[in-house]
């Protein structure tokens, strides 16, 4: 099945009632015909379901559909994107190991790498993800994993996944890619050399602002060795209800991402023609610093546009406060267009120097472009520009 078909039909487990829509198995456990059947389930000789912390039919459908989309051998769903990131890292690491990560990370991913892992004896080094020499220099004999996001949040830098994978593999480590900003449709990290891909399904996969969720995708061997038991015993399971919502989200993912990406390109071009805007960052625009790399490893520029308004924080606030259609929210990937001021929200925890190091200024706004009519979005942005 091609992606658009797999996202509608892939992984469906139809019950004895032959329902059209995927069944929502809102159940904690499962019953066994006999004690012998229970014994066989626990032994693993009968592959059926045991308990929804381990596996559940609705969650299994979501995992199978995601694995088909990603081209991965195996997938495991989690309660949130951060549960996926935490499990993907903690499941494969132990005290004495070392991790290298790009500095420009989603705030909570930075917490996992910088604060949480070191508390358990896993050292970490942060590098400028666009500088391959820094990746090379950061590798140590005990480096076991590397972590990156591309495009980055909120600066939309594009990191060279094949080149970084080569450096990481040469050092005997594994590369984990958080592919939220690119979506599984516009970038295929496993084909580019990553060993493990993680998503916050909260973003484009739901795409309609309802449920939290996450997913980890990798080889069968990686999932069986590092992830399966970690999730089963520590319990960050995706709710069957959320898995059902995510399955319905996947059906329309290609339609939404295509519309959002087309809108985002138009928004970026529109903003770049305006005097009040100091800089526009969009991976598929000719003036993006890594546009050639972006065109090589992505099939679209994505659904986010980041830009700097002239006049710093006060001007950025005036711009966003003047918008009627675009909502102020730190979320992204939604059908609704959402705008946020990273310096005072998602990246408030960083010092001004740390923000400067990853290019976040006081005039920066990050716009997650939705599926609305482009003309309404442009008119709304004109309201923001007028307020500057
Ligand atoms: C939102 C996000 C996460 C965390 O996902 P949650 O579902 O909110 O836990 C991780 N990485 C990136 C890039 C994100 O945008």
pLDDT tens string for the chain (388 positions)?
Answer: 999 999 999 999 999 999 999 999 999 999 999 999 999 999 999 989 999 999 999 999 999 999 999 999 999 999 999 999 999 999 999 999 999 999 999 989 999 999 999 999 999 999 999 999 999 999 999 999 999 999 999 999 999 999 999 999 999 999 999 999 999 999 999 999 999 999 999 999 999 999 999 999 999 999 999 999 999 999 999 999 999 999 999 999 999 999 999 999 999 999 999 999 999 999 999 999 999 999 999 999 999 999 999 999 999 999 999 999 999 999 999 999 999 999 999 999 889 999 998 899 999 999 999 999 999 999 999 999 999 9
Strand segments, DSSP code E, in the chain are: 74-78, 98-102, 123-127, 143-149, 174-178, 196-200, 214-218, 277-281, 304-309, 327-328, 338-340, 364-368
Q: Looking at the domain assignment, is residue 117 inside a domain?
A: no
Cβ–ligand 1 distance for 366 under 6 Å, the answer no
Residue 328 is part of which domain span?
Answer: 253-386
Rounded distance between C-alpha atoms, residue 345 and residue 350, angstroms: 10
CATH number at residue 359: 3.90.1150.10
Q: Looking at the domain assignment, is residue 150 inside a domain?
A: no
- 24 burial (CB, 10 Å; 0-12 / 13-18 / 19+) is middle
Three-state secondary structure call for residue 100: strand
Cβ–ligand 1 distance for 153 under 6 Å, the answer yes
Cβ–ligand 1 distance for 81 under 6 Å, the answer yes
Q: What is the pLDDT of residue 379?
A: 98
- Judgement on whether residues 382 and 259 belong to the same structural domain of the protein: yes
Q: What is the pLDDT of residue 345?
A: 95
Q: What is the pLDDT of residues 300-310, one digit of tens each?
A: 999 999 999 99
Rounded distance between C-alpha atoms, residue 279 and residue 274, angstroms: 10
- Judgement on whether residues 243 and 198 belong to the same structural domain of the protein: yes
Q: Looking at the domain assignment, is residue 305 inside a domain?
A: yes
Q: Looking at the domain assignment, is residue 200 inside a domain?
A: yes
CATH number at residue 204: 3.40.640.10
Report the 10 Å Cβ neighbour count for 90.
18
Cβ–ligand 1 distance for 106 under 6 Å, the answer yes
- Judgement on whether residues 241 and 280 belong to the same structural domain of the protein: no
User: Which residues share a beta bridge with 198?
Assistant: 178, 216
Q: Looking at the domain assignment, is residue 380 inside a domain?
A: yes
- Judgement on whether residues 89 and 234 belong to the same structural domain of the protein: yes
- Judgement on whether residues 309 and 375 belong to the same structural domain of the protein: yes
Rounded distance between C-alpha atoms, residue 99 and residue 382, angstroms: 45
Whether the bond into 151 is cis, omega within 30 of 0: yes
Domain boundary among 201, 229, 248: 248
Q: What is the pLDDT of residue 258?
A: 98
Q: Tell me which of 200, 249, 368 to substitute to probe ligand 1's pocket, judged by most ligand atoms within 8 Å of the beta carbon.
A: 200
The pTM assigned to this predicted structure is: 0.97
Rounded distance between C-alpha atoms, residue 146 and residue 198, angstroms: 13
Q: What is the pLDDT of residues 252-282, one digit of tens each?
A: 999 999 999 999 999 999 999 999 999 999 9
* Ligand 1 mean position, distance from CA 179 (Å): 10
């Amino acid at each position: 099945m091609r992606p658009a078909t797999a996202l509608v039909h892939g992984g469906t487990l139809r019950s004895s009632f032959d329902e059209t829509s995927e069944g929502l198995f809102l159940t904690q456990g499962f019953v066994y015909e006999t004690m012998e059947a229970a014994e066989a389930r626990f032994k693993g000789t009968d592959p059926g379901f045991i308990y929804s912390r381990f596996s559940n039919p609705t969650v299994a459908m979501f995992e199978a559909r995601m694995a088909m989309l990603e081209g991965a051998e195996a997938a495991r769903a989690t309660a949130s994107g951060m549960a996926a990131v935490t499990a993907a890292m903690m499941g494969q690491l132990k005290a004495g190991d070392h991790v290298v990560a790009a500095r420009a990370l989603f705030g909570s991913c930075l917490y996992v790498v910088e604060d949480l892992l070191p508390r358990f004896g896993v050292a970490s080094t942060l590098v400028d993800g666009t500088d391959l020499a820094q990746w090379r220099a950061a590798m140590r004999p005990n480096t076991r994993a590397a972590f990156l996001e591309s495009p980055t949040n909120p600066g939309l830098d594009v990191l060279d996944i094949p080149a970084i994978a080569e450096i990481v593999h040469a050092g005997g480590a594994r590369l984990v890619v958080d592919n939220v900003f690119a979506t599984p449709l516009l970038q295929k990290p496993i084909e580019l050399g990553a060993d493990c891909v993680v998503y916050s399904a909260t973003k484009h996969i739901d795409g309609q602002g309802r449920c939290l969720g996450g997913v980890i995708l990798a080889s069968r061997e990686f999932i069986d060795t590092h992830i399966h038991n970690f999730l089963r015993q520590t319990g960050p399971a995706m709710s069957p209800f959320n898995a059902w919502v995510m399955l319905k989200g996947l059906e329309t993912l290609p339609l939404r991402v295509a519309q959002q990406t087309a809108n985002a390109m138009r928004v970026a071009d529109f903003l770049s023609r305006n005097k009040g805007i100091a800089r526009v960052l969009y991976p598929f625009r000719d003036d993006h610093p890594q546009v050639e790399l972006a065109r090589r490893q992505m099939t679209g520029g994505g659904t986010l546009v980041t830009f700097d308004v002239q006049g710093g924080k006060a001007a950025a606030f005036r711009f966003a406060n003047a918008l009627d259609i675009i909502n102020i929210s730190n979320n992204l990937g939604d059908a609704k267009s959402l705008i946020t001021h990273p310096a005072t929200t998602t990246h408030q925890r960083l010092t001004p120097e740390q923000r400067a190091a990853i290019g976040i200024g006081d005039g920066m706004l990050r716009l997650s472009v939705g599926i609305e009519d482009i003309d309404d979005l442009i008119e709304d942005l004109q309201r923001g520009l007028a307020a500057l």
